[in-house]
Amino acid sequence: MTETPPLVVDIDGTLTDDTRAVDPRVFPVLAEWPEPVVVATGKAMPYPIALCEFVGIDYTVIAENGGVVFVEATDTLQIEGDKAACLAVAEAYRELGYEMGFGEVDLANRWRETEVVVDLSQPEEPLRRLAEEHGLEFFDTGFAYHVTDASIDKGTGLDAVCTELGLEPVDFLAVGDSENDAATFDVAGESVAVANADETALSRADRVTEASYADGFLEAVEPYR
């Protein structure tokens, strides 16, 4: 059997089905993985922390596309990013007559520390333009539009995790589906895009699975099980 590497894995579109429900078949894979597992997502930190909690693995997470990193093993929380600039973009977007698109309570943004997200039902181009004007990064993850600090990404998040765990990004197997995973793909030793991935992720991955969504994740890790 091939030696098992540490794993860094996205959630939406990678551990889920096409309805964004986490596929329960991934739980034992993550729980039994013999090396560190890093959950890396564009979601706010409570979401990957909850996933780790219910799977029963250490809280080792990269949230908000690298803006928030928590490593339970060293009790370390890192928050990086120009949240004020992101909020300025959101305010300017609202002044143009648009909304975040998540309703009055807006759980998508409620716990965010470093970025803002806008629902895909809202116009993309004015948000992208405003992000560029403020020197920020714009991501379309297929689940939301993200406006985030251009100096951080999932790759810098993985660097931060590695500093805490005494590992190197090249040690990792990375699995994902979106352009926000490409930065992880660029630094990991092996990168795999599931078949439903967007063009950016597909072009930056070392290999692409035949199967989509969680089936693709299970295919990606099969050589190490």
10 tagged catalytic: yes
CA separation (Å) from 133 to 48, 93, 99, 171? 31, 12, 19, 37
How many angstroms separate the CA atoms of 7 and 4, rounded?
Answer: 9
As a whole number of angstroms, the distance between CA 191 and CA 169 comes to 11
Would you say 78 and 56 are in contact if contact means Cβ atoms under 8 Å apart? no
| E strands, the chain, in order | 7-9, 37-40, 60-63, 68-71, 76-79, 116-118, 136-140, 145-149, 173-176, 190-193, 207-208
Considering the candidates 10, 12, 149, 177, report the single residue annotated as catalytic: 10
Residues noted as catalytic: 10
